[in-house]
Amino acid sequence: MTELKKTALNAVHRKLGGRMVEFGGWDMPVQYSSTIEEHMAVRTAAGIFDVSHMGEIEIRGPQALDFVQYLTPNNAAKLADGQAQYSALLTPAGTFVDDVLVHRMGPEHFFICVNASNADKDFEWISSHAGRFEAEAVNTSSRYTQLAIQGPKALSILQPFADTDLSAIKYYWFTRGHIDGVPAIIARTGYTGEDGFEIYFDPAESERIWNRILEAGEPHGMKPCGLAARNTLRLEAKMALYGHEIDDTTTALEADLGWIVKLDKGDFIGRERLAEQKTAGVTRKLIGFEMLDRAPARDGYLVFVAGGSEPAGKVTSGSPAPFLHKNIGLAYLPIGQTAIGTQFEVEIRGRRVPAQIVPTPFYKREKK
């Protein structure tokens, strides 16, 4: 077995009682105390996550914007300095190499946050297309610790450590400032459906900053949170996970991510195929569902349209939803079977169990 990669906080997680598991080649905490408690802390107070396994790829050069525009389907030309957007790296077939967050650091500098398990593949993919552009891609993943501080109290807990007014950072914007004196990218982004921040800084300072924020946050209900809570939080918010909802067999339109596909922005990888698919219409679509019986649906369980004998697809993510107290999931269903309220069946240990399509996201925070 190849040696698992470790973040700079590995020893801290172990000391906190984190249960460590392999995730995307990394040795990561799946939970510390209880997934339900960690999930609820983020919905009601705050949670801190070490997400340093995520990769960072930076693109610089006079044609950095043109290069990003060619690589991604969303319109990076709309970004101002200090603004971020959800986007993707697509294949010519319009399917996913990865989903990414594109940050515009400056007119000739973009910072792309990518999935841990895809970081090397993404960097190779990006590099293989760099020749056409006056721009350079560098894999800077090892230069950053990334912490996510999420929840309704994230701002008030983090503010005393920041040298900038965090409330002035709008959702999906970021600033370059300092956290506890350490230079950091401070982004109002996240993967939980809550307000919060993701901060990127020098790994050498990881332990001190993690400990200081957690110590300050604990009296306010902050908990260290593992990958299990991160997964249930993102699922309640219906955020896609690579390898589940999206991969190189699913297109952005099928994945209900048409809003990141800007066909009229100019050429990009996958554009031609997605334009055809948009005209012809997709034959299947990602839907959200609730189980109508007690048993939870799980990743990979087969789904059947009502009365169907052949499986129509699989559950891409299925789990108990700790905040909603329901068993929820996402699955691809044939178009025509995807209306809200439609009932279908999930096979659980050989038994067909009823499920119903519901509006998504399952959870949406109240905007102040």
Among 349, 350, 366, 368, binds other proteins (CB under 8 A): 349
- Rounded Cα distance between 368 and 349, Å, is 43
Cβ of residue 249: shortest distance to other proteins, in angstroms? 25
Which CB atom, from 31 or from 189, has the smaller least distance to other proteins? 31
Cβ of residue 220: shortest distance to other proteins, in angstroms? 23
Site for other proteins in 201-240 (CB under 8 A): 228, 231-232
Q: Which part of the chain contacts other proteins (CB under 8 A), choosing from 54-62, 151-159, 317-325, 338-346?
A: 317-325
Residue 138 engages other proteins in binding (rule: CB under 8 A): no
Which CB atom, from 18 or from 55, has the smaller least distance to other proteins? 18
Cβ of residue 31: shortest distance to other proteins, in angstroms? 6
- Rounded Cα distance between 257 and 259, Å, is 5
| Dihedral angle of Cα 62, 65, 68, 74, to the nearest 10 degrees | 180
Residue 6 engages other proteins in binding (rule: CB under 8 A): no
Residue 367 engages other proteins in binding (rule: CB under 8 A): no
Q: Which two tokens stand for residue 150?
A: 């999420």
Residue 273 engages other proteins in binding (rule: CB under 8 A): no
Residue 316 engages other proteins in binding (rule: CB under 8 A): no
Among 4, 34, 216, 290, binds other proteins (CB under 8 A): 34
Beta bridge partners of 60: 109, 136
Among 4, 16, 20, 36, binds other proteins (CB under 8 A): 36
Residue 350 engages other proteins in binding (rule: CB under 8 A): no
Which CB atom, from 100 or from 328, has the smaller least distance to other proteins? 328
Cβ of residue 327: shortest distance to other proteins, in angstroms? 8
Cβ of residue 150: shortest distance to other proteins, in angstroms? 18
How many CA atoms within 13 Å lie on the side-chain side of 13? 24
SS3 call for 251:
strand
Residue 355 engages other proteins in binding (rule: CB under 8 A): no
Identity of the amino acid at 129: H
Residue 30 engages other proteins in binding (rule: CB under 8 A): yes
Cβ of residue 329: shortest distance to other proteins, in angstroms? 13
Residue 296 engages other proteins in binding (rule: CB under 8 A): yes
Residue 319 engages other proteins in binding (rule: CB under 8 A): yes
Nearest to 359 by CA among 222, 238, 258, 243: 238
Cβ of residue 241: shortest distance to other proteins, in angstroms? 14
- Rounded Cα distance between 114 and 24, Å, is 12
Residue 184 · residue 200 · CB < 8 Å: yes
- Rounded Cα distance between 43 and 192, Å, is 9
Residue 365 engages other proteins in binding (rule: CB under 8 A): no
- Rounded Cα distance between 336 and 342, Å, is 10
Residue 294 engages other proteins in binding (rule: CB under 8 A): yes
Question: Taking the mean position of all CA atoms in its chain, how far away is CA 64?
Answer: 24
Report the b/e string of 239-269 with b at 16+ CB within 10 A.
bbbbbbbbbeebbbbbbbbbebbbeebeebb
Cβ of residue 195: shortest distance to other proteins, in angstroms? 23
Number of Cβ within 10 Å of residue 4's Cβ equals 15
Residue 192 engages other proteins in binding (rule: CB under 8 A): no
- Rounded Cα distance between 105 and 359, Å, is 35
- Rounded Cα distance between 195 and 190, Å, is 7
Residue 300 engages other proteins in binding (rule: CB under 8 A): no
Give the pairing type, strands 19-23 and 174-179.
Answer: unpaired
Which CB atom, from 252 or from 331, has the smaller least distance to other proteins? 331
Nearest to 189 by CA among 107, 108, 322, 100: 100
Residue 368 engages other proteins in binding (rule: CB under 8 A): no
Instruction: Give contact residues for other proteins (rule: CB under 8 A).
Output: 30-31, 34-36, 39, 228, 231-232, 294-296, 298, 319-320, 322, 349
